[in-house]
Structure 1
């Protein structure tokens, strides 16, 4: 199987030796997406807006690969403060439909650029 990089200007560019996403077989893996506005490179203000932007960035990568949020099978949510879980969960639920993807959510000591939330996904290609 070939491994293909996914890249779009509708999500922040990679700031290191990694791809925004990788496609292999019928699966798409996104790198963790912060709440960075791809046009400005700046973090959105507050955890709610960062969550929305993070998920929009994930969505843009998936769409570039010919997939979508309805094809996500697993997410990992990294939070600076697990106390923000309820706020993040409310926004998160508006981006997905049932059956919801499997998910892990963990509190971390620090995220790149001092972000408040980072989200990565595994998704199926659209058939």
Structure 2
């Protein structure tokens, strides 16, 4: 019986030790965005900041174009101006796409080139001015 108690104590010992602080993965925040219609083109300009504790690499920004009622009509992908985004650093992005009459808003999403999702704060929707 004492061997069982000793064995259980050994198994529970790691639970009593203080947990190591984990670094948060890359997390992006939309700092600034300007979405406007210019004749027959929609122009999107903005800045993202890495607010996580790890470097973000090979970021693909996905723009979902929405109709009234937030129904998705079209999706476009593009990359940031910087391939690597260190913690606390910012990067600009810019998109242009032909205007379609029913497009009224956009929503953003971010992922790595390999397809892993990156948490994005303030993804929208943003109104097309």
The TM-score, its normalising length taken from structure 2, stands at: 0.30
Bigger share in helix: 1
The TM-score, its normalising length taken from structure 1, stands at: 0.30
